[in-house]
Amino acid sequence: MIRSRTFTPTHVVLSAGALSLILVASVWSAQSESSTSIQLPSTEAVNHLADLAQQPDSQATGQPLQSGTPDPARSTNIVQHTVQPGDSLSSIFSEAGASQADLHRIMKADVEYLALETLRPGTELKLIFSKQGEFQQLALDLDPARSLAYTRVDSDTFEYQESVQNTHWVSEVLKGSIRGSFYQSALNAGLSATQIASVQQLLEYQINFRRELRVGDTFAVIVGHERTASESTGKTRIEAVSLERRNRTHTAFLFDDGNYYDQNGKSVLPAFRRLPTAKSFRVSSRFNPNRLHPVTGRISPHNGVDLATPVGTPIMSTGDGVVERVGNHPYAGKYVDINHGNAYKTRYLHLDKIFVRKGQHVRRGEKVALSGNTGRITGPHLHFELQMNHRPVNPLKADIPTASDVPKTALKQFEKLAEYELAVMTNAASRSNLILAGIDTRFD
């Protein structure tokens, strides 16, 4: 995650020239890696079980073990399942022979994370049983760097664990010029639909993409690809954008604080509200990453702040963004997740009524819901959560971008970064050029 920058401003342009070579080299190295097949450890027994699990009437699926009936498949103790469209956890648990009661215990452990609400097809699940056939753990591989496990700690409780491998970002430059819509031009340059949406979100306060672009205007984007030591995680981020029109250049640079600024250090995105309510309410439960579970005595974090809102209190989005999820969780109740660009996300739980749908754009201060009393809770309140870079932070204290400029103390460092990345975007060879030259440049 650390981006070391040892270039002095006077060497920036020269360095950028050198970097274009590095970028080309990294494209090549990614290409050679993608053509090498990686051998995974052989898990024939597990695959066999997974095959059995596909057949609804086979012996290894369906009912829990009858006592005294030896089951050769169960002696490996793992049922592996790749999530298919239309799968539900409930059916996966039934097929594997794990109880719905244990699934409920896992959903309870999931209330602060909601990691199980939207299982994506292709996610690898493992249900792990003891030798005696007791269900012990649900494990998920979300991507090559991230996995989750819900592990039994006693007869009534499962605990959430997350493991994240070290990752680093590999940057590439994509360049193009406007022919037709910005969307089509950016697609031609190699950007994905999601990346194009991010770029438009970053520059939409400076430029009207429908009306103000002309044929021949040019753009360059630095896209970061997250990788473990050996493979891509599939996550990308926009690190810098430059859009050049006849008489103006629009820019946005991702800085170390997770915010985007233009080349003058002014924030390109509007500020956040601190709270999602018009007036302030008593805090009935504080943000506490070290909260102890009253029964097990183990750490069971409270990832948000609970506000004692009566049922029907209007809830506003604290920033501009896109509704990422609308759902109903047995413990979290009706909830909304809003994505505010690459670094920030907010989450609102236990709602009574929701006014937005998935994919909808919302503005800072826009009413998205009424607070309520849904889910497994003791009284009406709003659980409000703020995540920075996928980590929950204290929404009452976090350093959110209420200030609109790069802090004075970091300005020198930011200017160096912006100057460097502008030089890179101007001078580096682009992947679209490489595509024109017939070179395969996929990053995966």
Distances (CA, A) of 218 to 29, 120, 175, 245, 254: 28, 36, 8, 7, 20
Of residues 172 and 352, the one with the C-beta less far from Zn ion = 352
How do beta strands 168-177 and 157-164 pair?
unpaired
Of residues 105 and 383, the one with the C-beta less far from Zn ion = 383
Q: 193-204 b/e with 16+ CB inside 10 Å = b?
A: eebbebbebbbe
Considering the rule CB under 5 A, would residue 112 count as an interface residue with Zn ion? no
Token look-up 């438009």 returns 200
Give the Cα separation of 393 and 397 in Å (integer).
8
Task: Count CB neighbours of 120 within 10 A.
Answer: 9
How far apart are the two ends of the chain, measured CA to CA in Å? Answer: 19
**Among the candidate windows 43-51, 204-212, 248-256, 300-308, which touches Zn ion by CB under 5 A?**
300-308
Can you tell me whether residue 22 is helix, strand or coil? helix
**Among the candidate windows 147-155, 254-262, 301-309, 334-342, which touches Zn ion by CB under 5 A?**
301-309
What residue number has its CB nearest to Zn ion? 383
- Please check whether residue 14 is in contact with residue 421, taking contact to mean a CB–CB distance below 8 angstroms: no
Q: How far is the CB of 304 from Zn ion (least distance, A)?
A: 5
**Among the candidate windows 134-142, 303-311, 317-325, 392-400, which touches Zn ion by CB under 5 A?**
303-311
Give the Cα separation of 160 and 144 in Å (integer).
19
**Among the candidate windows 17-25, 33-41, 146-154, 299-307, which touches Zn ion by CB under 5 A?**
299-307
Instruction: Return the residue of 306, 320, 352, 421 that touches Zn ion, per CB under 5 A.
Output: 306
The size of the interface with Zn ion (CB under 5 A), counted in residues, is: 3
Q: How far is the CB of 444 from Zn ion (least distance, A)?
A: 38
**Among the candidate windows 95-103, 176-184, 297-305, 435-443, which touches Zn ion by CB under 5 A?**
297-305
User: Which amino acid is residue 57, in one-letter code?
Assistant: D
Distances (CA, A) of 174 to 237, 342, 422, 438: 13, 19, 13, 15
Q: How far is the CB of 90 from Zn ion (least distance, A)?
A: 25
Beta sheet of 218-227, edge-to-edge order: 168-177, 218-227, 232-244, 249-254, 260-261
- For Zn ion, what does the binding mask look like between residues 346 and 385, x meaning CB under 5 A? -------------------------------------x--
Of residues 125 and 305, the one with the C-beta less far from Zn ion = 305
Q: How far is the CB of 346 from Zn ion (least distance, A)?
A: 14
Q: How far is the CB of 419 from Zn ion (least distance, A)?
A: 44
Phi, psi angle pair for 272, to nearest 5°: -95, 150
Applying CB under 5 A, the residues found at the interface with Zn ion are: 304, 306, 383
